[in-house]
Amino acid sequence: MGEGEELLRKRWNDLQTPPADLTRSALARWKRNRGYALEELLIDLAHLEGRDTKHGYHLEGEQVDGFFVVDHRHFLLEARWHELPIVASKVFAFQGKLRGKLLGTLGLFVSIGQFAPKVRSALVAGKTVDVLLADREDIELALNPTRSFQEMVRVKMREAAQTGEVYYRYQRWLDANP
C-alpha cells in the first residue's frame, strides 16, 4: 500500500469513533466536522488516483462538496454522514445542483448512514437518471488497496447505464466478477 493510501485509510478510521469524553455540544461539532472531513477524504482519494478533482466550493446560493472526473464524465459530489437515513428530498436537492451545470454532469451522493428505502425508486421513476448512490461499504471497498474509487464509480456508472440501477453496490459487482 502506498503512503498516501495508508494515510487516507488512517483518516477514514479516525472518523469512525468520536474521541472519548466529549460534551454534547463538542460531539455535535465533531460530527459536523466529520462531514467536512469525509468530503475532503473522498476528493483526496480521487486525486490520489490521478483524477481531475476540486475540493468543496461555494457558488451563489449553493455549496458543492467536491468535483471529480472519471472516464471523461464530470461529477459533483455530495457527502453525508448522518445517523438518520437519507430521504429522497435530500437527493432531489442535490439533483437541483446538477441543473444549471453543463449538460451531462453527473452526481455521486455518498451517505455513510443508510438511504431510506424509497430513495432508489424515487430517483428513477420516470426521471432523468443523473445521480449515483454510494454507501459506507462502497467507500470502504474503494479505500481497499486492491480496489479503487474510480473503479467503484465506473461500476456504478456502467450499471446505471445498462439497467437504470442507481444504487448498485461495488461489492455486488465484485461478487459477480471475481
Using CB under 8 A as the criterion, which residues of the chain lie in contact with another protein when the complex forms? Answer: 114-115, 117-118, 120-121, 135, 137, 159, 162-165, 167-169, 171-172, 175-176
Q: Which is nearer to another protein, 13 or 121 (CB)?
A: 121
Sign of the CA dihedral running 155, 159, 165, 168: negative
Cα 51 from Cα 150, distance rounded (Å): 8
Counting every residue, how long is the chain? 178
Q: Which is nearer to another protein, 8 or 139 (CB)?
A: 139
Q: Which residue has the cell 438518520?
A: 84
DSSP string, 128-145: ---EEEEEHHHHHHHTST
- CA 70 to chain CA centroid, Å, is 13
Q: Which is nearer to another protein, 104 or 164 (CB)?
A: 164
Cα 6 from Cα 10, distance rounded (Å): 6
Query: CB 117 → another protein: shortest distance, Å?
Result: 5
With beta carbons less than 8 A apart as the criterion, state whether 149 and 71 touch: no
Q: Which is nearer to another protein, 78 or 159 (CB)?
A: 159
Q: Which is nearer to another protein, 96 or 164 (CB)?
A: 164
Query: CB 119 → another protein: shortest distance, Å?
Result: 8
How many helices and strands (H and E) does the chain possess? 7, 5
Query: CB 135 → another protein: shortest distance, Å?
Result: 8
Query: CB 130 → another protein: shortest distance, Å?
Result: 17
Query: CB 153 → another protein: shortest distance, Å?
Result: 17
How far lies 173's CA from each of 46, 82, 164, in Å?
A: 20, 26, 15
